[in-house]
Amino acid sequence: MGGVFEPLKGGGAAIALDDIEISILRSLAVQLLELIGPGEPEPAADADPLAVLFASDGPTEPPSDPALARLFPDAYGGPSAGPADDPEELRKRSAEFRRFTENDLRTRKREDALAVVRSLDGLTPADDEAALLELTGEPRLRWLGALNDLRLTIAARLDITEDDESAVLFRLPDDDPRKPMVMAYLWLGGLQETLIETL
């Protein structure tokens, strides 16, 4: 297989991963879990779902960490805002949207990263052989979400935008301290692309 996802007969995706690849992916997923933070406490089993929805207010301000800001962007404003848009009105709408959606989005991103960790924990390469990871059904979507979040996080840490991606990434000298993260970013992009192709 050679380090990329390939389609499985009957649906699904498979990839051969060696110890180092498993270790890197697991470490990145755990770091993503730490970045996203702990989840909200579970409501009581007999709690009214509607009351829980309106009682559990999420944050109203965007995160100050650039990586979290990329994972949880404002719903209104940004590049799509026109000159006629009132910035204060956009800020209010974004705050209200964030208040009702960010906690659920954090939960989903946490579950995606946790699914990656759990599936990697089940792999055991034998004697210099790569372990075969097979994903079918929902785990493929979880992996796809986590790979996307990992790339967004690394891009934020490296201050990479879509516009300058190719110009910056492929020209770094080997002694540049950003090189390992750039290599991880590119590798994750390859995994993401080949996983998408199997869907």
How large is the angle between the packed helices 179-198 and 19-36, nearest 10 degrees? 100
Nearest to 68 by CA among 112, 100, 109, 113: 109
HEC string of 112-169 equals HHHHHHHHHHCCCCCCCCCEEEEECCHHHHHHHHHHHHHHHHHHHHHCCCCCCHHHHH
The one-digit pLDDT tens for each residue of the chain (199 residues) are 457 899 998 889 999 999 999 999 999 999 999 999 886 656 566 777 666 555 557 777 888 899 998 998 888 765 555 555 677 888 888 888 888 888 899 999 999 999 999 999 988 877 778 899 999 999 999 999 999 999 999 999 988 876 665 566 677 888 888 888 988 998 999 999 999 999 8
Q: Is the pTM of this model over 0.85?
A: no
Tokens of 195: 């996983």
Residue 126 φ then ψ, to 5°: -110, 125
Residue 1 has a pLDDT of 40
Tokens of 163: 């516009």
Residue 77 has a pLDDT of 65
Strand order in the sheet with 13-17: 6-7, 13-17, 131-135
Nearest to 120 by CA among 106, 138, 139: 139
Instruction: Return d(Cα 25, Cα 85) in angstroms, integer.
Output: 42
The one-character DSSP state at 10 is: T
Instruction: Return d(Cα 16, Cα 176) in angstroms, integer.
Output: 29
The distance of Cα 135 from the centroid of its chain, to the nearest Å, equals 17
What 3-state DSSP class applies to 39? coil
